[in-house]
Amino acid sequence: MNPKNFHPESLMMSHGYKPEWSEGAIKCPIFQTSTFVFKNAQEGKEFFELAYGKREKSPGEQPGLIYSRLNNPDLQILEERLCLWDQADECAVFESGMSAISTVLLEFLRPGDYLLYSMPVYGGTDHFINKVLPQYGINGIGFSADETFEEILEKTKGHSIKLVYVETPANPTNALFDLELCRKIADHFSSENSYVPVAVDNTYMGPLWQHPLLHGADLVVYSATKYIGGHSDLIAGAVLGKKELMQRVRTLRTFLGNMAGPWTGWLLMRSLETLKVRMTQQALNAEKVADYLAAHPKVDKVYYLGHLAEGTNQYKIFKKQLSCAGAMVSFDIKGGEKEAFKFLDSLKLFHLAVSLGSTESLAEHPATMTHSDVSDSDRQKLGISEKLVRLSIGVEHADDLIWDIKQALDLV
Ligand SMILES: *Cc1c(COP(=O)(O)O)cnc(C)c1O
């Protein structure tokens, strides 16, 4: 299948699919079907034995298709392709990033357990941790990027941490968390009969620029709505990781029934073919935009990973964990909400919308939009002020993006 150790981008058009399965069609068709016909009763029995974990797979045996809540070719092939980028054993695709995240949290936490999580996390994740999980007797303890191992142990004293959940780079300030440190904390709370997994939301770096499984994480979660989908036309999520943990995630997905449908799976396979070229161009554009912003007199501060000062702790984490500065650029505009809104309302090419990672460039105001639910004191602590604007850079010509930013700043 992979004779030369091809790079993932070389395999996104073909991996896991055989044209002879589908009348020679070069592309995997959309298997818009709820159920699959067994050749005979014995085959049905064997497929179910595997699906319900009643026995181990025998060498070379392929799990058979049963019912689209359990498996479907458009999801299975997509999952195999996603595994290549992160070098994961297994992947499960979900109908949204939030369903991927909430399934992981529900599978690895039980009443009485504590969850250690990085701050800030995505708004929906924050809501699930702080408003939903406490109703099930599960509580979260947050930590920020500047806290040390000792400080984190101090604040978790007396609590049984059962999962470490990290989002890095953090949204919208690009603060980086050290995954090696997160692994060390999880090991501290692990015992012989209770392993504490580290789960990382890698949405901000897509599957291209950061591979958390290679830095001590056990699970990676994505909002596939963002870079993986990349065209602002679908909602989906994914979880990847080690086999034993993924079997638990997949089983809960089967019973919550929150897998993606075949049409979404097909769209995501199409998106994966251009993932590398899209993201590469987005990062090149982002660098130019960030440099332009940093030199502009109406800009106070730029939050861009390519501008981290050498020798700082953040720079060290960047060098260790990331292969690229990404395509998310935030900046403080001189002034406050009035100036930020004037800028946003004057843009002609950027779209004023939340979400990120898409082919078109987007701009938004975190304090009143994506992060309006975060408490005032947390917003202040995390640097999410009234003057902060977040940009997601797309694949347009960089000169046009800079022209747009210039004319909008001129009007402020
Ligand atoms: C968008 C996003 C999510 C939620 O994903 P949905 O696909 O919208 O459910 C989770 N984490 C991060 C970092 C996100 O940007």
Residues 276 and 147: their CA atoms lie apart, in Å, by 34
Q: How far apart are CA 142 and CA 266, in angstroms?
A: 37
Asked whether residue 186 is assigned to any structural domain, the reply reads yes
> In the prediction, which pLDDT does 173 show?
83
Helix pair 243-256, 97-108: axis angle to 10 deg: 110
Q: Ligand 1 centroid vs 274 CA: distance in angstroms?
A: 21
- Of all protein residues, the one whose alpha carbon is nearest to atom 2 of ligand 1 is 223
Same domain, 154 and 131: yes
What average pLDDT score do residues 53-60 get?
Answer: 85
For residue 60, being part of any structural domain is answered with no
For 271, phi then psi, to 5°, come to: -65, -40
pLDDT of residue 1 exceeding 90, the answer is no
- Compute, in angstroms, the gap from residue 240 CA to the centroid of ligand 1: 15
| Ligand 1 pocket check for 366: Cβ under 6 Å | no
Tell me: do 78 and 162 sit in the same domain. Answer: yes
Instruction: Residue 209: name the closest of 219, 198, 220 by CA.
Output: 220
Spacing, Cα 371 to ligand 1 middle (Å) = 13
Asked, for residue 101, whether it belongs to a domain, the answer is yes
Running DSSP on this structure, what letter comes out for residue 373?
T
17 plus 135 within the same structural domain: yes
Residue 119 and residue 271: Cα distance in Å, rounded? 30
| Residue 256: burial class (beta carbons within 10 Å; 0-12, 13-18, 19+) | middle
Helix, strand, or coil (residue 209): coil
In-domain check, residue 46? no
Alpha-carbon separation of residue 198 from 14, 32, 180, 204, 264 (angstroms): 32, 35, 10, 17, 28
Determine contact, residues 92/259, Cβ cutoff 8 Å.
yes
Regarding whether 254 and 289 lie in a shared domain, the answer is no
Q: If you measure from the C-alpha of residue 194 to the centroid of ligand 1, how many angstroms do you get, rounded to a whole number? A: 29
- Give pLDDT, residue 63: 82
> Would 118 be classed as within a structural domain?
yes
Inform me whether the pLDDT recorded for 3 exceeds 70.
no
Q: 147 and 280 share a domain?
A: no
Query: Which residue's C-alpha comes closest to atom 4 of ligand 1?
Result: 97
Is the distance from the beta carbon of residue 237 to the nearest atom of ligand 1 less than 6 Å? yes
Is residue 357 in contact with ligand 1, taking CB distance under 6 Å? Answer: no
Residue closest by Cα to atom 6 of ligand 1: 97
Ligand 1: nearest atom to the Cα of 203: 13
Amino acid (1-letter code) at residue 167:
E
Mark whether 214 and 73 lie in a shared domain: yes
Which of 94, 98, 369 has the most ligand 1 atoms within 8 A of CB, as the residue to mutate?
98
Q: Last residue of a domain, which of 241, 257, 272?
A: 272
Q: Say if CB 227 and CB 286 are below 8 A apart.
A: no
Q: Is 356 exposed, middle or buried (0-12, 13-18, 19+ CB in 10 A)?
A: buried
Name the band, by pLDDT with cuts 50, 70 and 90, for residue 2: low
- pLDDT digits 0-9 by tens, 287-315: 999 999 999 999 999 999 999 999 999 99
CATH number for the domain including 336? 3.90.1150.10
pLDDT score of 10: 96
Across 379-400, average pLDDT: 94
20 C-alpha to center of ligand 1: Å? 37
235 close to ligand 1 (CB < 6 Angstrom): yes
Token look-up 């000062």 returns: 309
- Of residues 330 and 61, more confidence is placed in 330
Find which of 53-62, 344-353, 370-379 is predicted with most confidence, using mean pLDDT: 344-353
- 56: in domain: no
Domain stops at, among 272, 290, 306? 272
Measure the CA–CA gap between 408 and 197, rounded to whole angstroms. Answer: 46
Cβ-contact 82, 220 below 8 angstroms: no
Residue 61: pLDDT band (50, 70, 90) is confident
In this structure, the answer to whether residues 241 and 283 fall within a common structural domain is: no
Average pLDDT (77-98) is 98
State if residue 222 touches ligand 1 by the CB under 6 angstroms criterion. no
Q: Is the beta carbon of 203 within 6 A of some atom in ligand 1?
A: yes
Looking up tokens 């142990």 gives 153
Q: 169 CB under 6 A from ligand 1?
A: no
Domain boundary (253, 272, 291) is at 272
Nearest-CA neighbor of 164 among 187, 148, 147?
187
Residue 381, pLDDT score:
85
Specify the pTM: 0.96
Residues 133 and 219 in one domain: yes
Determine, yes or no, domain membership for 175.
yes
Same domain, 171 and 301: no
Q: Supply the residues annotated as catalytic.
A: 69, 122, 201, 226
Least confident of 163-177, 270-284, 288-302: 163-177
Count other C-beta atoms under 10 Å from residue 214's C-beta: 11
Report residue 378's pLDDT band, with 50, 70 and 90 as the boundaries: confident
Classify residue 40 as exposed, middle or buried by CB count within 10 Å of its CB (0-12, 13-18, 19+): exposed
Query: Mind listing the pLDDT tens digit for each residue in 135-157?
Result: 999 999 999 999 999 999 999 99
Range of the domain at 146: 8-33+68-272
For residue 33, CA distances in Å to 37, 204, 233, 309 come to 11, 33, 22, 53
Domain count, the chain: 2
Percent of the chain with pLDDT over 90: 89
What are the respective helix, strand and coil percentages of the chain, to the nearest 5? 40, 15, 45
Indicate whether 12 belongs to any domain.
yes
Residues 252 and 180 in one domain: yes
295 and 263 in one domain?
no
pLDDT at 265: 98
Residue 281 Cβ inside 6 Å of ligand 1? The answer reads no
Alpha helices, H only, 220-312: 243-256, 262-273, 275-294
- Domain of 258, CATH number, reads 3.40.640.10
Q: What was the pLDDT predicted at 4?
A: 76
- Please provide the average confidence, as pLDDT, over all residues in the chain: 95
Q: What is the pLDDT, as a whole number, of residue 188?
A: 96
Using CA positions, which residue lies closest to atom 5 of ligand 1? 97
**Cα 100 to averaged position of ligand 1 atoms, centre (Å):** 9
Q: Indicate if ligand 1 lies below 6 Å from the C-beta of 229.
A: no
Report d(CA 364, CA 341) in Å as an integer: 9
Same domain? For 224 and 305 the reply is no
